[in-house]
Amino acid sequence: MGRSANSIPSGVADFDSIIKGGFPAGSVVLLAGGVGAGQVEFALTSAAKLSMVMQDPTSKGFLLGPAKDSIMPEQICYITFSRSREDILQELEMSFNQEFYDAFQKVVKFKDFSSSYFSKTMVPRSWSGSDPTSLFSSSSNKNVLESLVDYLDENASRSMIVIDSLTDLVVSASIDIKDLVAVLRGLQRISKKWKGVIYLVLTDDVLDKRMQNMIMDSVDGALVFEWSRYHNSSRRQRYMYVEKFISLLPHLDKERIARFATTVTARSGLVVIDAERIT
């Protein structure tokens, strides 16, 4: 049995081809990068491409290419803390083509934790989409981290989960970073039984280096996205590289791949356009 039979495709075909079919089932994957560097686009591309296949299974070979023999998740869940479903869909509609948008909005199951996230803050309930029975957010029985754990327990089995974004949790005054790291370590452990894939989107340089390393150490794999300027030019190029992933790095080392040049198009989402090799 090939490794692809135990993998969940990312939907970024050229990347899946190199990593032998996708991410190992049961993986918690950190997508970290600067603003606009590609981590959000990677998550949206992955969710949209797999949504299209879930709507039309006959398109699997065309859309997923080398990952066509990989495992498909049973559902896709998109979790937000401060952004609304409408905000995500509008971003998708403006960035990608109609096929991406249609499949995503029909297939993906949204969970908005903004009521819990903005609890005990000065943000009015009406701003977070809650019933404005009182001017400011009131306290709830569970904090956002506890609510997230309950939701994952009920929905993460054999699913693709996008948590957009971990940045919201690390900057929240109501969440102790040590509690968050403990939850991530527990998530990494239980995810092996769930056999899905969980993406954690994180904006780079929000945390100090020590805290970011603690989070990096609490996940199975980490993809880092960055901008780099061309030599003697104002033009910029997006790059992606695998910072950590025990099961994937041997494939990259064997092919001497250092990083991947990427681009984002309306037609295909995030695409790997070149694999830069160590010479």
Please give the chain's pLDDT, 279 residues, in tens.
Answer: 455 668 999 999 899 988 889 999 999 999 999 988 999 999 999 999 999 999 999 999 999 988 888 999 999 999 999 888 999 999 999 999 999 999 999 999 999 998 888 876 666 666 666 554 443 334 445 788 999 999 999 999 999 999 998 999 988 878 888 999 999 999 999 999 999 999 999 998 888 888 888 999 999 999 999 998 766 666 789 999 999 998 888 878 888 888 999 999 999 999 999 998 876
Any idea which architecture 3-277 has in CATH?
3-Layer(aba) Sandwich (3.40)
Strand order across the 269-277 sheet: 109-112, 75-80, 159-164, 197-203, 27-33, 221-229, 236-245, 257-265, 269-277
Distance CA 86, CA 106 (A): 13
Residue extents of the structural domains in the chain: 3-277
Chain center to CA of 266: 19
**pLDDT tens track for 68-99:** 889 999 999 999 998 889 999 999 999 999 99
Q: Are 222 and 243 in contact (CB under 8 A)?
A: yes
Count of beta carbons in the 10 Å neighbourhood of residue 53: 22
Distance CA 262, CA 274 (A): 7
pTM attached to this predicted model: 0.91
Best CA proximity match to 157, nearest among 204, 119, 195, 198: 195
Distance CA 124, CA 132 (A): 8
Pairing of strands 27-33, 197-203: parallel
Element (H, E) at 55: helix 39-55
Inter-residue long-range contacts of 272-276, CB under 8 Å, 24+ positions, other chains counted: 272/12, 272/13, 272/14, 272/15, 272/240, 273/14, 275/14, 275/18, 276/239
